Amino acid sequence: MLLRPRAIDLKIIGFYIGKLILGIGFIMLIPLAISLFNSEWSPAIDFVIGSSLAFIVGRVLQITCRTKKDLGLTHGVLVVPIAWLAAMFFGAVPLYLSGHFGSFLDSMFEAMSGFATTGLSLAQDLDHLSYGHNFWRHLTMFIGGQGIVVVVLTLMAGGSAGIYGMYMGEAREEKIVPNLIHTARTIWMITFLFFGIGVASLWAAGWFIGIPSLKALFHGVTVFMAGFDTGGFTPQSQSFVYYHSSIYEFVAIPIMVAGGINFALHYALFLGNRREMFKNTEVKSFAATILLTFVITAIALSQVDAYDSALAIFRRGFFHIISAHTGTGFMTVYGPQFPELWGSLAMTGLIVAMGLGATMGSTAGGIKALRIVAAVKAFILEVKRLILPPSAVIVEKYHHLKRTTITDKLLLNAFIIGCAYITTYFVGAVFGIFFGYSFADAMFESVSAAGNVGLTSGITSPGMPDLLKIVYIIEMWAGRLEFISIVALLGFAISMVRGK
């Protein structure tokens, strides 16, 4: 029997949503400072308006929903999907005011693409977007990749079951250290360690290829935020075509791979456990599927004579497989060239890479390597049950920071989430076909949106139908949160109407 939520439940949820909205308002002060530093007075006003609106709404929610009752596990799970929609709305305000988006829907699409670390963009005349607005686009990816809740947890002391519910609602389960607050802070420690190395490398590469020093630094910061958080936004409309540099591309590759690796594994390596990188079953699975999809793509590119040398095939093919598999979305070709120049088989390689995604507990989207491992182990388990005596005790294990036994719970999770992703990929593709796009193009775009990748076959543009924009927003939102918290929210909405 469904129970109707009580008023106190709504107040608890509202109070914490208000807290997260306030957080978004405070974070907008960073691009405001960037705008002021660059004497961009009109963009500065846009961020004053956006942050002020977030402060007002967030504070009103906190005052009207104030309660002494603790946040419960269920409340925490429900807060997350609503908070992400709120972040999309408030994050879209300064983008819309910039004048570079055709409608508020387009700016919400951009904001969700940023927070969900997707990278599909509807910005118009991006090359002339202000530094403040451009930095905000990338900052949304930096926040979304770590997790909006992780940002708040970093600033909090203590914890509760409800806080863990919020953490789980953002598709995270592993605690890097026993305390959840310290886990959030450890994630940031790892991120800023990579930030220093990655920005310095990208700045040096940009300066080496002729970009002026300060501009190269801006590109280094923004490209790192998008690369490590597996987003895909770039400061220029041409993505990585703008750089025309193999050096810049190969500096970006390890940044993308690092973003696709589990934070718990990063922490183990940080503590000196180098063997874990080679023992970890999920990393082996990730490496194997990268190799498989690259081979498919390289063979396809050699058949269509897209490039005139093996080195050119490797450069384009490997970069895009890494970009697709990690869910980053950087591109060294223009979107329409995928169907026109690369052909169906190469696009299939990219689609598979995008759909599979990287590792659990990383900033990447997609099904994830650990679930692929679980599916393979389940198949092996069933084969053993068929060929071994009924009395045999059959156990399958994998190594992920420690030896772990394959359980029914793990298999069920892998099956449910995997099916949810695949269903979403196909549903999104059906909408694309409905609006007249080919199956290959529609599937490519749908997998890119739901897998939070950002590669495009050319469908994503300001002129595409509004309904398709909404479909992709939902796909990006659902894919980033991995469905469970969204299903919980739908159940909560139904219980409000039909509950006893």
List the Cα angle 217/334/337 in 5-degree steps.
155
Host H or E run for residue 410: helix 408-434
- Identify the weakest region by mean pLDDT among 3-12, 51-60, 438-447: 3-12
Q: pLDDT band for position 155 (50/70/90)?
A: low
Q: How many CA atoms lie within 13 A of 490 on its CB side?
A: 6
Whether the full predicted model's pTM is greater than 0.85, yes or no, is: yes
Mean pLDDT of the region 116-120: 94
Looking up tokens 């590669």, which residue turns up? Answer: 455
Q: CA 80 to CA 374: how far, in whole Å?
A: 27
- Least confident segment among 27-31, 34-38, 408-412: 408-412
Nearest to 56 by CA among 28, 30, 35: 28
The whole-number average pLDDT for the span 460-477 is 96
Q: How far apart are CA 414 and CA 402, in angstroms?
A: 19
Q: What pLDDT sits at residue 271?
A: 85
Q: What is the pLDDT of residue 157?
A: 44
| Residue 408 confidence class, pLDDT cut points 50, 70, 90 | confident
Q: Report angle CA 386, 400, 191 to the nearest 5 degrees.
A: 150
Q: Write down the mean pLDDT value for the chain.
A: 89
| Helix 343-356 with 281-303: angle, nearest 10 deg | 170
Residue 414 amino acid letter: A
* Position with higher pLDDT, 387 vs 49: 49
Position 268 pLDDT exceeds 60: yes
Crossing angle (nearest 10°) for helices 484-498 and 466-481: 110
For the cut 80, the answer to whether the pLDDT of residue 118 exceeds it is yes
pLDDT band at residue 297 using 50, 70 and 90 as cut-offs: very high
**Predicted local confidence at residue 158, as pLDDT:** 46
Handedness of CA 269, 275, 277, 279 (dihedral sign): negative
Check pLDDT > 80 for residue 394: no
Q: Give me the pLDDT at residue 165, please.
A: 67
How many angstroms separate the Cα of 450 from the Cα of each of 107, 295, 354, 415? 18, 24, 9, 17
The pLDDT tens digits of the residues spanning 371-390 come to 888 888 888 877 877 887 77
Residue in the structure block whose two tokens are 């970069």: 319
Please check the confidence at residue 314 and state whether its pLDDT lies above 60: yes
Instruction: Spell out where 79-185 has E strands.
Output: none
Residue owning tokens 């950087």: 330
- Joined tokens for residue 53: 């609106």
